Amino acid sequence: MRILLWMGAVALLSGCGGDLSNEQQAALVENAIANAEAMAQNVTREARRERLAERAPERDAWIGKWVGVEGLVLEIAKGDAPGRYRITNTWSVDAGDTGTFNGRASARGIVFRRGEERVRLVAGDGAATGLKWLADKKDCLIVAPGEGYCRD
């Protein structure tokens, strides 16, 4: 594959005229190869995630509304494919800490990206949330100690 990428880059550069030095052409070829390899890794990584989501246990029992403290809410809806979910979340009392995210089933729960943060929802009880207001609840989803959502 690397040879094909190199040949494609050389063919592309040959149409650019003779304005570039050998070093510049070599740098452009190396850059093109690095970009193609990075794209291939991303495609491979995404395909792996798709396979894992399809094989993960379904989390359809988690669909619905989950309530945290001080008005924090987590709502899970079925996504557009098996093992996919739409998550609407208010995770802080700060303005703007609300959003809708695409999640996928994993071996332990549901994972999604909230900004730059990778969030993993796992099942637990109120005590596992670390929040005294939820301590007596039995059916909860935990992000981390101090952030959890339970059903009444």
Question: For the residues of 129-146, what is the DSSP string, one character each?
Answer: HT-GGGTT-SSEEEEETT
The answer to whether residues 68 and 118 belong to one domain is yes
pLDDT of residue 56: 58
Which parts of the chain sit beneath pLDDT 50?
6
What type of residue sits at position 144?
Answer: A
Paired tokens of 41: 């890794």
What type of residue sits at position 127?
Answer: A
The answer to whether residues 93 and 146 belong to one domain is yes
pLDDT of residue 3: 52
The answer to whether residues 108 and 146 belong to one domain is yes
Q: Are 72 and 80 in contact (CB under 8 A)?
A: no
The answer to whether residues 75 and 14 belong to one domain is no
Apex CA 145: angle with CA 139 and CA 147, to 5°? 65
pLDDT of residue 12: 57
- Number of domains present in the structure of the chain: 2
pLDDT of residue 139: 96
The answer to whether residues 73 and 8 belong to one domain is no
The answer to whether residues 64 and 50 belong to one domain is no
Q: Which domain holds residue 92?
A: 60-150
CA 97 vs. chain centroid, Å, equals 17
The answer to whether residues 81 and 51 belong to one domain is no
The answer to whether residues 70 and 142 belong to one domain is yes
CA distance 67 to 90: 10
Give 119's strand partners: 112
